[in-house]
Amino acid sequence: MSEKVKWSEPKGWKEIPIGGNLPAKTSLEYKTGSWRTFRPDFDPDLCTHCMICVHYCPDSAIPVVISEEGVKGFRDRIYKGPVRLETDFEYCKGCGICAEECPTDAIKMVRETWED
Amino acid sequence: MNVRELAKIQAEQGLKLVPGHRMCAGCGINTIVRTILSASKDPVVVVNATGCLEVVTTIYPYTAWNVPWLHVTFLNAASAASGVEAAYRALKKKGVVKDKINIIAFGGDGGTYDIGLQALSGALERRHNFLYVCYDNEGYMNTGHQRSGATPFGASTTTAPSGKVSFGKKEWRKDLVKIAAAHNIPYVAQASIWKVVDLYNKAEKALSIEGPKFINVLMPCTTNWSFPENLTIKMAKLATETNFWPLYEIENGVLTVNYKPKERKPIEEFLKLQTRFKHLFRPENKHVIKEMQKKIDEDWENLLKLERITHEEGVRL
Amino acid sequence: MSATKVKSTKKPLTGNEAIAEAMRQIKPDVVAAYPITPQSPIVHTFAKFVADGVVDTVMVTPESEHSAISVVTGAEASGARAMSATASQGLALMVEVLPATSGLRLPVVMAIANRALSAPINIHCDHSDSMAVRDLGWIQIYSENAQEAYENMFLAVRLAEHPDVLLPAMIMLDGFIISHGVEVVEVYEDEVMHKFVGERKPKFSLLNYKEPWTMGPLELTDYYFETKRQEQEAMKKAKKLYIEIGKELSEITGKEYGYFEKYRLDDAEVGIVVLSSAAGTAKDAVDELRKEGKKVGLLKPKLFRPFPYEEIRDALKHLKIIGVLDRSYSFGAYAPLYAEIRNALYDLDKRIPVQSYVYGLGGRDIFKQEIKEVFNELLEGKVSSEEKCIGLRE
Amino acid sequence: MKEVFEVRIHGRAGQGAKSGGQILALAAFKEGKTIQAFPEYGSERRGAPTVAYTRISEKEIRSHEPIVNPDVVIVLDDTFLYTIPVTKGLSDEGVLIVNTVKSPEEVRRITKFKGKIFTVDASGISINNVGRDAPNVPSLGVLVKAYPFVKLESIELAIKEIFEKKLSKEKTEANIKALREAYKEARS
């Protein structure tokens, strides 16, 4: 079964693979971001890209890219190599570990409004 | 290796456990799995015991796994992994499988300390080439915080609650790392999500060794230890800084303590943030905390002695 | 017995040795088994094959039957062909995993040397062990003797691994009576038999990491039913394919592989239905009664799961009276085989009286004379709704 | 000659009743006969009384009932003559073979058996030749003499096939010697 299958649509017994077998990472269709009551407000200008929040995020919801040219962050320095991007709000459950562990207070938890 | 280098490795590898899983907000299991799987440069097959990790990552039709993954039942992760390993050996011999593949089993403390201990012991004794990782959240958290063999002395659980005449669990937790080590396997370690690089190094070392390996990782449970969900890492940190959860490894019988706090924090600092220990702060239970502290200090001294005699006197665990 | 179509050697073997011999020819990738009386010699014999380099199998000797079935389940999920063997309490200890193996659709093949269940502890033959697990999604085939047990192993591998089936299978042989009795077994050529089973071609394999599958997820109210419905469908297909694969096997052995064996049944008026080794003894009883001019016959089911209701109904429909002999109780209910036979006959317009007999529990011997008495009783029309016991002291 | 020949062997666990039955079956098999050999199992430990059966036929054997009316009973331990009904099911046409230093007359007096009785000091022969008390093989020598359903040479072939897997050539030869000696020395 190809990965294009929309797993969120209910399927009949003849359609699904046998034995409950599932192809990889179908959970990407399941957006746990809707669980959030607080959201991490990330200020890139305060970020040292230390990667602590990345490792500790329970949902791997903080994307990392390898940047050759670097990005501007804490104290206007340029940070190269692995740099974090904005939180992936499709999956972030808003636990606040990132804010708690951030050594430069670059993340603050704010009430989720769900307005956008 | 530092956290940035580790993040780079992980970014290059891509996620082996993707989001969309339904762990509690603030759960640390993701960090354990993410870190350990990233230590494998080779392809990985994961075998999972029934428990939190298995349940929340595979609620049909949504699986968070991006590596081959098998769950059979609660107690048999180690024996099912033995079967995967046996098949790997057989099919490699035949030439059907060509590449090196690492086999990693994950189980909670229920599936490891208790119901799965016999299967684990058998698999270690048979010397299957695999890594078993226990994420130890100190109780049967998947089913409602019942006591396990890993639940600490003094904790109040749903099956060993504190009450008018009880201070909760009255038995000391079993020392699973030493039990694993008693199988004379090449590598055994205790680790924590607080120190991800240490955790990574241990997994990397374990995977470089032929034979059975065992790593026990503390997994503070926001839901049932009952602390705010943003404090999971803090809790793991306090566990180690109070010597409640020392980080150490036993390599071919030689024990090394990987982290020694400059000043050991009193156990109250770890206990006071958790509802499961709240009752210990009542006057009639003060003695429990005292006993706990005494045991922690004795165990720590013992650990340091073991480190010394295995390093300096040729004694092997 | 019709003539063999390929070269074969006759060997004096115990039933257990015959099973091990089949395993030697099948050459499974992985074997994991925990010894238990009366199955142990299967493990001993096969372990010696491994030790002598006769087979290249990875042999795992786990610390319990629970682990043995877990090992073969894990190995099958990894694309290997894996086999086990057990009996009685060992099978009971496996019970937690048995529906997982079938639910995961892993075609493990396992021999069962039928033995009574505790308590009281007893090491001898009855069918209480395999009957207790008859509804866990495993194909079940019962063998009359060592020869059948040997041949059933090959049939089971092909059937279990068929892409339309993918269900585990257990092959039953009577503990001690067959497992430990030496009989002459016709063993067919190694290459021919191995070629018959071929190599396993798994659709899903954990070791095929380039195509990672999640195997054994959590299915709740929304999907569990669908997955189980597939399993039921696989059983239906297994029933059909049993005959097709049996025909292929008969190209080698020259024998027939029906759902059941009929013995002097077609022109009989009274028939009994009985599984496994007692059917052999019953055939002698039939012959002796036939000499007396009595129109008696026998039906010996082989495939018990899936159960061939229609075919059995057609085979029995001309009889005036039927006796069903069970070697196990279903406590508080009709004995297992009896219940199925009654069910099979329900669709007939004419109601045939069926008498239930239980015999041989805990290895209690069953004699030809006793079976003759059963026939005589049935010939006299003595049928009641009471379950009767053969060889029991009142 | 009969179509089916049935033998029951009484021994103590460790005396080789089961393997005696299997040697006999293998010998018959080598002559192209159909065979069954099956021991009766309890949870015997060394020393406990055991029974083994062998059924030999010119045609297919289907029955799996225990042997009720044996043609021959072999008793590997003469104390059974006092403690176990060894002649049960044995008709007057049947043969009783006993490993004993007693005479056939004495055995008849003890058992009241009316059919043919053969005695032999199988234990003595075994100890002399093989160096241990394994009366099963010599007793088969007597069987062949008493009831020539299977040839002595076939028993020898069967002994070779079974023993040479486990024992030295010398021990195997010693067993064959014991077999022949018992064949000669049996009294009736």
- Is B283 exposed, middle or buried, given 0-12, 13-18 or 19+ CB atoms closer than 10 A? exposed
Contacts with A, B 77-116, CB within 8 Å: none
- On whether residue A57 sits in a domain, the answer given is yes
Contact B26 A61 (CB under 8 A): no
Are B and C close enough to touch, i.e. 3+ CB pairs under 8 angstroms? yes
Closest CA to B184 of B203, B221, B212: B212
Residues in chain B within 8 Å Cβ distance of C74 = 47, 70, 72, 79-84, 86-87
Give pTM, 2 decimals: 0.96
Q: Which fold is adopted by the domain C261-390?
A: Rossmann fold (3.40.50)
Residues in chain A within 8 Å Cβ distance of C212 = 23-24
What secondary structure, in 3-state letters, does chain A show? CCCCCCCCCCCCCCCCCHHHCEECCHHHHCCHHHHCCEEEEECHHHCCCCCHHHHHCCCCCCCEEEEEEEEECHHHCEEEEEEECCCCCCCCCCCCHHHHHCCCCCEEEEECCCCC
Residues in chain A within 8 Å Cβ distance of B232 = 56, 58, 95, 97
- Chain A residue with minimal CA distance to B35? A55
Q: Look at B75-84, C368-377, D32-41 and tell me which has the smallest mean pLDDT.
A: D32-41
Choose which CATH entry (3.40.50.970, 3.40.50.300, 3.30.30.10, 3.20.20.80) describes domain C8-253. 3.40.50.970
> Which domains occur in chain D, in start order?
4-185 (3.40.920.10)
Closest Cβ–Cβ partner in C145, C174, C367 for D65? C367
Contact C217 B71 (CB under 8 A): yes
Closest Cβ–Cβ partner in C62, C207, C220 for B79? C62
State the smallest CA–CA distance between residue C106 and chain A in angstroms: 9
Span D107-125, pLDDT tens digits: 999 999 999 999 999 999 9
C-beta separation of C352 from C317 below 8 A = yes
pLDDT confidence tier of residue D167, bands split at 50, 70 and 90: confident
B89/B93 Cα distance (integer angstroms): 6
| pLDDT at site A3 | 52
Residue B69 burial (CB count, 10 A):
29
B235/C84 Cα distance (integer angstroms): 46
DSSP B123: H
Span C229-275, pLDDT tens digits: 999 999 999 999 999 999 999 999 999 999 999 999 999 999 999 99
- Chain B residue with minimal CA distance to A65? B11
pLDDT < 50: residue spans in chain B: none
Structure tokens at C98: 């048995």
Contact A35 B23 (CB under 8 A): no
B173/D84 Cα distance (integer angstroms): 58
Contacts with A, C 82-121, CB within 8 Å: 103-106
- Chain C residue with minimal CA distance to D28? C12
Structure tokens at C105: 């659709």
State the smallest CA–CA distance between residue C100 and chain A in angstroms: 9
State the smallest CA–CA distance between residue C338 and chain A in angstroms: 32
Write the CB contacts of C78 (distance below 8 Å, at least 6 apart in sequence). B45, B83, B84, B87, B88, B91, C205, C206, C207
Closest CA to D54 of C276, C147, C183, C13: C183
Span C34-49, pLDDT tens digits: 999 999 999 999 999 9
Residue A109 burial (CB count, 10 A):
18
Are B and A close enough to touch, i.e. 3+ CB pairs under 8 angstroms? yes
Check CB contact of B81 with chain C, cutoff 8 Å.
Answer: yes
Span B93-151, pLDDT tens digits: 999 999 999 999 999 999 999 999 999 999 999 999 999 999 999 999 999 999 999 99
State the smallest CA–CA distance between residue C115 and chain B in angstroms: 25
Span C319-333, pLDDT tens digits: 999 999 999 999 999
Residues in chain C within 8 Å Cβ distance of A17 = 204, 213
C-beta separation of C143 from C178 below 8 A = yes
- Chain B residue with minimal CA distance to A31? B20
* pLDDT surpassing 60 at residue C3: no
How much of chain C exceeds pLDDT 70, in percent?
A: 99
3-state class of C96 per DSSP? coil
Tokens 């407000």 belong to: A41
State the smallest CA–CA distance between residue D67 and chain C in angstroms: 9
D62/D56 Cα distance (integer angstroms): 12
Check CB contact of D43 with chain C, cutoff 8 Å.
Answer: yes
| pLDDT at site A91 | 98
Check CB contact of D27 with chain C, cutoff 8 Å.
Answer: no
Residue C158 burial (CB count, 10 A):
22
Closest Cβ–Cβ partner in C96, C206, C218 for B58? C218
Check CB contact of A25 with chain B, cutoff 8 Å.
Answer: yes
C-beta separation of A3 from B61 below 8 A = no
* pLDDT surpassing 60 at residue C17: yes
Q: What's the Rg (C-alpha) of chain B?
A: 19
Mutate to test the interface with A, among C73, C164, C223 (most CBs of A within 10 A): C223
* pLDDT surpassing 80 at residue C5: no
Structure tokens at C95: 């019970």
Write the CB contacts of B116 (distance below 8 Å, at least 6 apart in sequence). B49, B74, B75, B76, B77, B78, B107, B110
C-beta separation of C79 from B91 below 8 A = yes
pLDDT confidence tier of residue D44, bands split at 50, 70 and 90: low
Closest CA to B17 of B35, B5, B2: B35
C-beta separation of B187 from B178 below 8 A = no
Check CB contact of B120 with chain C, cutoff 8 Å.
Answer: no
The CATH number linked to A86 is 3.30.70.3270
Residue C171 burial (CB count, 10 A):
28
**Owning domain of residue A97:** 43-116
State the smallest CA–CA distance between residue B97 and chain C in angstroms: 7
Count of domains in chain A? 1
> Which domains occur in chain B, in start order?
3-312 (3.40.50.970)
Residues in chain C within 8 Å Cβ distance of B69 = 206, 212-215
Query: Where do the domains of chain C lie?
Result: 8-253, 261-390
* pLDDT surpassing 70 at residue A16: yes
Contact C184 D35 (CB under 8 A): yes
- Is B125 exposed, middle or buried, given 0-12, 13-18 or 19+ CB atoms closer than 10 A? middle
A84/A98 Cα distance (integer angstroms): 12
- On whether residue A12 sits in a domain, the answer given is no
ipTM value: 0.95
Phi, psi of C300 (to 5 degrees): -115, 100
Closest Cβ–Cβ partner in B55, B69, B97 for C207? B97
One fold for C8-253 and C261-390: yes
* pLDDT surpassing 90 at residue D45: no
- Chain C residue with minimal CA distance to B82? C71
Largest Cα span, chain A: 59
Contact C227 A12 (CB under 8 A): no
| pLDDT at site A4 | 73
Span C121-144, pLDDT tens digits: 999 999 999 999 999 999 999 999
C-alpha to C-alpha distances, D156 to D17, D167, D174, nearest whole angstrom: 17, 15, 11
Residues in chain C within 8 Å Cβ distance of B126 = 60-62
D173/B267 Cα distance (integer angstroms): 78
State the smallest CA–CA distance between residue C55 and chain A in angstroms: 31
Contact B31 A58 (CB under 8 A): yes
Residues in chain B within 8 Å Cβ distance of A24 = 63, 65-67
- On whether residue A92 sits in a domain, the answer given is yes
| pLDDT at site C1 | 45
